[in-house]
Structure 1
Amino acid sequence: MQIQAAEWFMLLLVVAMPVYSLWESDKVKVAIIEGRKTKLRAYKEAIIFLWIPTSVLLALLFSGRLSPSELGLVWQGNLSNWIGAGLVLAVSAYFFYSIYALLSHPEKLDEFRDAAQNSDWMVPATSKELRWFTLGLSVSAGVCEELLFRGFIIGVLGNVFGVILSLVVGSLLFGLCHLYQGWGNVLRTAIIGLVLGIIYILTESLWVAIALHILIDVYGGFIGYALHKTKPVASEPKEAVS
């Protein structure tokens, strides 16, 4: 099977995403910290950034150049699909219980506080930011990144380059797209991408990977919001008594 011109163009767009992230590096982070950009604006820009290449992919899909089955968008109702659905339910239950437990015992959030310092600049701190992060950015990331890095890279190009190579390359590109979170998170995100890719392959459904991706991001947003709401307020130094 040979790659068609439209698929080469789509691949170029996907590769351009981490290249752009490398060029941007920590500019967004610095702008938010310095107050030159709000988190809401950063969320909206990220949503647009994700949907530009995804719109091209969807255009190829609706024009018939790519099929839903190639992207893993056909629910076959087989055992693999239903195991994937069960996994989504199990992860949903775990995240729901975890958030409930943390909100019931705020002191447990201290365990997350140190680990979350590097991402404090990007997680939602207000209810409006939380809505945009969960319903806007998290859903967009789950849909767009899975379509691009799993559905297209693995589902379509895997037929040409092999599933294993496509899985590894897709995971690396996915990780590099998150360079704005720091190099440490690039590795962590690449590993998450690798796991999502394996789940996609084993369950034979991109819907499972999309749902899990959204759940992971929404969970992270709620944890970040809870950390902000329970952040200790530094007490002002007492005046010396003369």
Structure 2
Amino acid sequence: MNTVFTWISQEPALTAGLAAIAILFMHNWATEGRDKARIQSGEAGARLGVYNKVLIHLWALTAVTVAMWLLSGRDLDMLGLGMGVEGWRSWVAWGLTALGAAYFIYTVVSAAASSKTRATIRAQIGEAGELDLIRPETPAEFKRFNWVALTAGITEEVILRGFLIGVLSLIMPLPVAAVIAIAIFVIGHAYQGMAGMLRILPISIGLTVIFLLSGSLWPCIILHALTDLVGGAVFQILHKTQEADQAEAVPA
């Protein structure tokens, strides 16, 4: 315990950053039920309100954690915002990023082209947990969701992989710090239900591996943002084709 207090006294800025993350997580946990109830009740603008809250919270927390990191005497490269290492590790990380990007682009093309693929995706969404908080349904929501997706791709990587792993690795082995960061990332998506959290787990592991290989957040940011943007694109395709697909499924 004395060691913990000693570290806190030596790293007040990093401690403040960790505290900010904890406070935001607790706030989101405490308000999640209310937000979900507002959306499920059909309250006008409820989902847009949640999107706006996410945008404000994530960018504010990113500003705080980056500021605390810099105040601790460390630079942005150490946070993961440089180009990282050179050599085979970088090539592998960027290769995995390219493969992931190709898969997600293929998913959008397939969803747009095939009613059978859309039926499969609809079934998967039905089993994927509680998506009411994030699934857009109106044109305004689809536009705002794209900003949320881009924001999450940038800010969550800086907060939960750059800052959190960077801080935790100062007081514990790097693999342990990485596992804790993965767990917190998954728990942060608890609003999607257990099925949604289990779906996100391999994504979080993959992004963490890419970060540890490359030493850079940029491939993770690109892949994370693309993942969420593709999700929004698929939601929009499903929404636009729902009536036509239902009509096609009815026997003549």
Residue 14 of structure 1 is aligned with which of 8, 21, 37?
21
Q: Does the Cα contact within 8 Å between 2:84 and 2:214 map onto a contact in 1?
A: no
Change (3 A) 1:169 1:121: closer
Matches within 5 A, 1:54-203: 54-61=62-69, 63=71, 65-76=73-84, 78-79=86-87, 80-117=89-126, 118-119=130-131, 122-134=134-146, 136-203=147-214
Which deviations, in whole Å up to 9, do the C-alpha atoms of 1:189-216 show, x marking residues without a partner? 3442232112210122111111111111
Equivalent pair of 2:39/2:132 in contact (CA under 8 Å): no
Q: TM-score, normalised by structure 2?
A: 0.82
Indicate conservation of the 8 Å contact 1:68/1:74, yes or no.
yes
Identical-pair percentage:
29
Retained in 1: the 8 A contact 2:77–2:84?
Answer: no
Q: CA deviation at 1:60?
A: 3.0
Q: Does 1:221 align with 2:232?
A: yes
Question: Post-superposition shift, 1:62?
Answer: 5.1
Any idea what SS the aligned residue of 2:237 has? Answer: helix
Name the counterpart of 1:26: 33
Q: Return closer, same or farther for 1:190/1:98 CA change in 2, 3 Å cut-off.
A: closer
Kindly state the Cα deviation for residue 11 of structure 1 after the two structures are TM-superposed: 0.8
**Which residue identity lines up with residue 207 of structure 1 in the other structure?**
W
Separation (CA, whole Å) in 2 of partners of 1:73 and 1:203: 11
TM-superposed CA distance for 1:2, in Å, is 4.3
2 CA distance for matches of 1:85 and 1:131? 29
Provide the secondary structure at the position in 2 that maps to 1:161.
Answer: coil
Q: Deviations over 1:164-205 (max 9, x none)?
A: 221121112112222222233234334422321122101221
Q: Which residue of 1 is the match for residue 250 of structure 2?
A: none
**Paired AA for residue 129 in structure 1:** E
Contact 1:26/1:181 (8 A) holds in 2: no
For 1:129 and 1:39, locate their aligned partners in 2 and report how far apart those are by CA, in whole Å: 7
CA offset digits 1:122-155 (Å, max 9, x no partner): 3222343222212x10111111111111101112
Number of residue pairs matched by the alignment: 234
* Residues 13 and 71 in structure 2, CA contact (< 8 A), matched pair in contact too: no
TM-aligned CA distance change 1:120 to 1:9, over 3 Å: closer
Deviation at 1:8, TM superposition (A): 0.6
- Give distance in 2, aligned partners of 1:183 and 1:24: 18
| In 1: Cα distance, 2:154 partner to 2:116 partner | 34
CA deviation digits over 1:4-41, x for unaligned, max 9?
00101111111223322322233222211212243222
1:208 aligns with 2:219: yes
**After the TM superposition, which of the residue ranges 68-77 and 44-53 deviates more from structure 2?**
68-77
Q: Deviations over 1:82-126 (max 9, x none)?
A: 332333333222222221122111232111112213325532223
Output the aligned Cα RMSD.
Answer: 2.4
Q: Which structure dedicates a bigger proportion of its chain to helix?
A: 2
Structure 1 residues 23 and 91, CA, compared in 2 at 3 Å: closer, same or farther? same
Question: What secondary structure does 1:48 align onto?
Answer: helix
Structure with greater contact order relative to length (CA < 8 Å, sep ≥ 6): 1
Give the structure-1-normalised TM-score.
0.85
Letter in 1 for 2:65: L
